Chains A and B, each alone.
Chain A
Amino acid sequence: MTVTAILPAKGLADRLTGTFWRRPGLLLLLLIAPPLLWLGVVYLGSLAALLLQSFYSIDEFSGVVKEEFTLKTYAELFRAQNLDIIIRTVVMAAAVTLACAILAFPIAYYAARYAKGPWKAAFYLGVMLPLWSSYLVKVYAWKLILAKEGVLTWAASGTGTGFLIDGILTIPGLEGSSLSTSPFGTFLVFVYIWLPYMILPMQAALERVPTSMLEASADLGATRGQTFRTVILPLALPGVIAGSIFTFSLTLGDYIIPQIVGNSSRFIGLAVYQLQGTAGNIPLAAAFAVVPIVIMLIYLTLAKRAGAFDAL
């Protein structure tokens, strides 16, 4: 039997693999072309259309969109009532992000450094499980939990801690007849709903910090607090930023939670929803929708300048 240096190509798969080997760019192109088209045309295209709309204005008498470029619509954003909405939304998003980061860190740290085998599985299950049930069901469930007749008030009065809830409800800006009608209730539900989106990227970032680096820090004389500030936090920061992009932008855009829980004061998402629907003011809705994009860009620029991505 003769042995040849080249084995015969059998079938299409052999020939295709050969073609891809000779032209490495081809496979890559074939793989990324469809998602790139989707991203480029459908996704960025609609974003561009949105941006375009925000530069139009609406005729105040006829209610018809005037298709000429103007900054009038953006100027409207700075009217007191609209500015209120923006500030309220940004403050809420920032508070939710901060609370999520503080709550998520110990959980993510435990999962990344200590959880092994079945405990790790339990962690993933515990974090992901709430994501499996309907968003609306969870929000309504919280409305019931936070209601005046709800389990939280009941437990508080049973343990004699009702004054805590009453105290929160008298804080200026958080007033309400119960937690479910207070902005604090809105905050709680936001934190609950978006927490997994903070935990998962944080845990992924912390998992990449080798134990020896923490040991080196302690070895060189650092206390736990110093190690946290100078080693763990900077190295986990890309994960924290990734998580905060989720919690921040999801809160910025959400229009359902503030409708169901809280005092019905308007948030950006709700404003967009109402402006494009009942009010029919598409340009102002578009201008409102641009606000979260601008805020996120500013946030990322600041984060980059602060060195948040140096460890990437």
Chain B
Amino acid sequence: MTNALEIRGLTKVYGSGFEALKGIDLHVAQGDFFALLGPNGAGKSTTLGIVCSLVTKTSGKVSVFGYDIDTHLSDAKLHLGVVPQEFNFNQFEKVFDIVTIQAGYYGIPLKKAAVSAEKYLKKLGLWDKRNTPARMLSGGMKRRLMIARALVHEPKLLILDEPTAGVDIELRRSMWSFLEEMNRQGTTIILTTHYLEEAEALCRNIAIIDHGRIVRNTSKRELLQQLSLETFLLDTETALENAPQLDGFSCRLDAEGVLEVDVHKGQALNEVFMQLEHKGIKVVSMRTKANRLEELFIRMVEQNAPGAEAIAEGTA
């Protein structure tokens, strides 16, 4: 089956001489929910910008559902819906007009566009605001408006560049449900995000980009299996003065007196509780210290940082 997105040897050198992409290879299968992760300036937005025609590539090949953007750009664009990082609609236009005008650019007549606009504005909770100028909307509403606009022509591939940035938790969760539903209905989704919890919750496959190179491209499951250590935070019934000694586990108290326990892959968490119970320590609640994917991400990016090898070898 043709991939939803295929990128080969993609490079981008900006006019200033900055090499943003250094030969990226990437493929996203149809129906996938894919995350492109990386620190600021890693090349995520440049990559997606090239796919969406907002950035011109220096070299390499990009195809969307088999349509090469060099030779069949119009066909490629028909399959794409884009939700950019920053608000990029006319702030003076009304919500309904913004969505129907976008449909018009895709050659959809107004009547049909109005039906589609109504469908997505209702799904995203913006129908009541349809006659409101965009500048009057809240930040969360503006983000949802960009999603409605990107979907109005029913694209098969939806690209979201940090779609939930600056959105409150409740709204973020509802946007996740919406995107999951879109994905279940067959829309391939690619997102970049700084909320790694978001990628962990939504995506099946993940690529990590850093310094213009893909440092990892695999399934989320495989990525998480590499995690050899997880740290758990345990709230005890009574405050501890010192961290207890647990056989086979490293533990310590954090600044607030919460017990931190490192559990290696293959170790049973039950063992921690048994040893604590034996020492008369009662645990009342437990949580993981950090997002698992976040830990891996930081580790990979640090390994990829210039000079990391030298630092590891103690020569820098």
Do A and B bind?
no
Q: Which residues of A contact B (CB under 8 A)?
A: none
Where the two chains meet, the residues of B that have a C-beta atom closer than 8 Å to any C-beta of A are: none
